[in-house]
Amino acid sequence: MTETKIRRADETDADRLTDLIQASSAYHGEYAPMIDGYRVTPEYIARHEVFLAADPATGRLLGFYSLIREPAELDLMFVADEAQGRGTGRELIGHMLELARGAGITDVRVVSHPRAEHFYLRVGAERVGTFPAAGRITWDRPDLRFTV
């Protein structure tokens, strides 16, 4: 497991978070439309609970998540390709669940990237259904829930 520092993102992190999303190999090929043109804006960071994981020695961005409180949903969750498999995602999920618990949230929804479903199941989510294809997203997505 890699050592990380998790902190609240601020508006100055918007471009770094966007770059991490756009660099994600999970969204190449058939899944590219999901993030095509997507940007994390300073306004988004100001409105939502956005936390990032960074290497404490270098400051290198390892991943981030965004929790929307009402209704509770893990809106964004990305881990840098080179940090995957090292515990960063598990740490971010643990942090998100603690934040949700402290806010009195009892469950958190995740509409998952199809390839990420197994990760979410391993860290405690359960599948509750399927989110149907819509618009430029032409494939169904796993609908998951964390019980807090």
| Residue 115 DSSP SS3 | helix
User: How far apart are the C-alpha atoms of 21 and 139, rounded to whole Å?
Assistant: 19
Contact 40, 18 (CB under 8 A): yes
Which run of H or E residues covers position 92?
helix 88-102
Half-sphere exposure of 31 (CA within 13 A, CB side): 15
- What's the pTM value of the predicted model, to 2 decimals? 0.93
The CATH architecture that domain 5-108 belongs to is 3-Layer(aba) Sandwich (3.40)
Give residue-wise pLDDT tens across range 59-107.
999 999 999 999 999 999 999 999 999 999 999 999 999 999 999 999 9
Which run of H or E residues covers position 65?
strand 61-69
In 3D, which of 13, 7, 79 has the Cα closest to residue 43? Answer: 13
Residue 2 has pLDDT above 60, yes or no: no
